[in-house]
Amino acid sequence: MKSMASATAFGQNSKLHYILLTFIALLFYANSINNEYALDDGLVITENPYTRQGLSGIADIFSHDAYQWYYEEKGSAGELSGGRYRPLSIVSFAIEYEFFGARPAVSHAINVLLYLLTGLLIYYLLSRFWFSKNRPLAFLTAFLFLIHPVHTEAVANIKGRDELLAFFLLLLTLTTLFRYLHDRKRSSLILSLFFYFLALLSKENSITFLAVIPFSLYFFGSQSLRDSLKQSLPFLLAAGLWFALRYAVIGSSGAAPDDIMNDPFLYAGAAEKSATAFFILLKYLQLLVWPHPLVYDYGYAQIAYRHFSDPAVLLSIVLHAGMLMAAWAGWRRKAVWSFSALYYLATISIVSNLIIPLGGTMGERLLYIPSFAFALFSAWLLQVVYRNLPRKIAPGLALVFLAILTAGSAWQSINRNRIWKNNKSLFIHDVKEAPQSIKANTAAAGAYVNIYLEEQDTAALLKALEYYHRAEALYPVREDSFKRELFLYNNYINQAFIYYSMDSLQQAEKAWHKAKAIKPFHPKVKEYARALALSYYKKANEAAGSDLARAIRLYQKAVELDPSLADAWYNLGGALYTAGQLTEAGQAFEKALALNPDNEKARQGLAAVDFLLNKKK
């Protein structure tokens, strides 16, 4: 009985709940604060010219697509359908840059703080308004939300702040709305509308709360469905205002992606696309129940196209149809499971690729807002199980179960934060979990090249080659699009650098020729041509004393790659002269003089050639 009394006392102790939730959030994510910038942080912070202007860049941030500067730099009209208008998180980065400069620790700390406040706000909303007579359910929901490892991407990746801000502001929207139901102060409703508008400015998927808000009012606001819909109308106006602003800034649709990297469904038929989308929805459910493995990229071709005959696709359809049936079954009773199902389906819908194209297959960060439903449902289910256990053993079993769950989640989350340390650790680790992703393989190759540059470890170059070759093999060859050519050019020019660094000049030249065939006038092509030419020239000089024929071949390679190498032409002339190839020697000396008229030795060599040729006549 004493254990039951202790459990009851804990269940009602809000102060202790807040302390424990704070401790859990910090325990799970404190080690992410010392991480560096990673993945797309450059797009929104370190490389973004508007962010680096600090406070003076805020006007530009609000008046442009989130990636407009990048598109302009690449000479592109845009690479993602629908555009990206989410200025609020980028504004927060600009403010940080103004006062702290490029200090990732500050940004990571703010992400952790936002995550902590979100957990506390979940508890406040539920314990104060939704489940005021069931604080244990409120605590357990917030607790399960905070310990879920699938949130590591949103928290440990600074760029994930758009998700963090959006959900935090959406929770504030619900909290102030329910406060308005209790105090009937117009200021609370105005605050709620303001927070919702800010949430929309943080991330577009906040639009799904136009469904969540009336559901919440109906299930937890003691209102009829009609009154709930009526109460939600002002939020429709707020969304309309946001949409008008968004349209004025970036238009209606943005660019239509024309490459597989920004549209993984580019080569899928309508049926394949829908079937694959249902498979991805099943993958999301799997990550909620069993969050392993976690990876930063699920792009082409990590998730293969699926068909409706696929058992996994059929299972997904059954499960999601079951959610709808559960929602209907518990509608009149206003059951927790019914709300959880409706909330999840509403918030996952916009990132499912079934309604609008996402520009990607899936992402763990996209589960951040929908995962609240999983936490709420799981907390309710655990409470039901707890209440049906024998009273003597229920507290002990509950404690053991939560301890094991917390320990497992902590291990995975803390370890995942370490992997998010920087691009090198992230790319090298995750390519093993996403071996079919073109992006993951290319990124891993680049990481190994950087290791070579930092440590001069030639073994790293071999790993880089392995991943570049794999990425090349994975890229579809269905059409010769500009994007494919750009991808292959970058791949080949990087291979050329690796072979060159390994002193495999013939392989480097082959890769260089492939790159040149795609972009013959690119500055990098000329740069690598000269580097190869100089290497051949050096090897020719080394061979000249012992293997004249080889030296001639190497000199010829050098001037073929870079005809402007005057010294190579002169030495080629000398080698040909020694070999008795007088006519060719004279031509080489002439080339050397054309490039460097002051080369007296070349002039003497040409005179000697002319003398011998005339003598033969």
pLDDT digits (tens, 9 = 90+) for 371-397: 999 999 999 999 999 999 999 999 999
Structure confidence at residue 7 as a pLDDT band (50, 70, 90)? low
Strand ranges for 70-118 from DSSP E:
none
Tokens standing for residue 313 = 């696709």
The average pLDDT across 544-572 equals 94
Structure confidence at residue 6 as a pLDDT band (50, 70, 90)? low
Per-residue pLDDT of 400-413, as tens digits, reads 999 999 999 999 99
> If you compute the radius of gyration of the chain from its CA atoms, what whole number of angstroms results?
32
User: Dihedral angle at the C-alpha atoms of 261, 264, 269, 272, nearest 10 degrees?
Assistant: 160
SS3 of 254, please?
strand
Residue 617 predicted with pLDDT over 70: no
Number of neighbours of residue 132 by Cβ within 10 angstroms: 11
Residue-level pLDDT at 79: 55
- Sorted by where each starts, the structural domains of the chain and their CATH numbers stand as 521-617 (1.25.40.10)
User: Angle CA(345)–CA(144)–CA(316) in degrees, nearest 5?
Assistant: 30
Q: Are 257 and 263 in contact (CB under 8 A)?
A: yes
Q: What is the mean pLDDT of the chain?
A: 93
Please report how the helices 566-578 and 582-595 are oriented relative to each other, as an axis angle in degrees rounded to 10: 160
**Backbone torsions φ then ψ of 561, nearest 5 degrees:** -75, -35
Residue 478 predicted with pLDDT over 90: no
Per-residue pLDDT of 186-216, as tens digits, reads 999 999 999 999 999 999 999 999 999 999 9
Q: Are 475 and 488 in contact (CB under 8 A)?
A: yes
C-alpha–C-alpha distance, residues 409 and 490, integer Å? 39
Return the closest-CA partner of residue 18 out of 172, 132, 121: 121
Strand ranges for 194-329 from DSSP E:
none
SS3 of 341, please?
helix
Structure confidence at residue 3 as a pLDDT band (50, 70, 90)? low
Question: What's the farthest any 2 CA atoms get from each other in the chain?
Answer: 121
Tokens standing for residue 331 = 């509608």
Per-residue pLDDT of 100-146, as tens digits, reads 999 999 999 999 999 999 999 999 999 999 999 999 999 999 999 99
Residue-level pLDDT at 77: 54
**What region, left, alpha or beta, does residue 39 occupy, with left being phi > 0 and alpha being psi -120 to 50 degrees?**
left
The average pLDDT across 256-275 equals 88
The HSE-up count of residue 465 (CA atoms within 13 Å, CB side) is 17
Dihedral sign (CA 229, 230, 231, 232): positive
Residue-level pLDDT at 76: 60
The average pLDDT across 437-452 equals 97
Q: Which amino acid is at 66?
A: A
Residue 480 predicted with pLDDT over 70: no
Structure confidence at residue 260 as a pLDDT band (50, 70, 90)? confident
Residue 80 predicted with pLDDT over 70: no
Return the closest-CA partner of residue 220 out of 138, 133, 131, 140: 131
DSSP letters along 371-388, please?
HHHHHHHHHHHHHHHHHT
Structure confidence at residue 222 as a pLDDT band (50, 70, 90)? confident
C-alpha–C-alpha distance, residues 446 and 214, integer Å? 48
β-strand partners of 81: 254
The set of residues, in sequence order, having a beta carbon less than 8 Å from that of 446 and lying 6+ positions away, is 427, 464, 494
Structure confidence at residue 70 as a pLDDT band (50, 70, 90)? confident
Residue 535 predicted with pLDDT over 70: yes
User: Dihedral angle at the C-alpha atoms of 367, 372, 377, 381, nearest 10 degrees?
Assistant: 100
Q: Are 42 and 128 in contact (CB under 8 A)?
A: no
Residue-level pLDDT at 78: 54
Q: Are 177 and 189 in contact (CB under 8 A)?
A: yes
Structure confidence at residue 82 as a pLDDT band (50, 70, 90)? low
Q: Which H or E element spans position 284?
A: helix 270-289
Tokens standing for residue 107 = 């940004």
Tokens standing for residue 409 = 């989640």
Q: Rounded to two decimals, what is the model's pTM?
A: 0.91
**Backbone torsions φ then ψ of 81, nearest 5 degrees:** -65, 145
Cis status of the peptide bond prior to 234, with omega within 30 of 0: no
Q: Are 213 and 229 in contact (CB under 8 A)?
A: no
- Environment class of 573 (CB within 10 Å of its CB; exposed 0-12, middle 13-18, buried 19+): buried
Residue-level pLDDT at 101: 95
| Helix intervals (H) in 475-565 | 482-501, 505-518, 523-543, 548-561
C-alpha–C-alpha distance, residues 239 and 199, integer Å? 10
User: Dihedral angle at the C-alpha atoms of 299, 284, 155, 250, nearest 10 degrees?
Assistant: 60
Q: Are 514 and 499 in contact (CB under 8 A)?
A: no
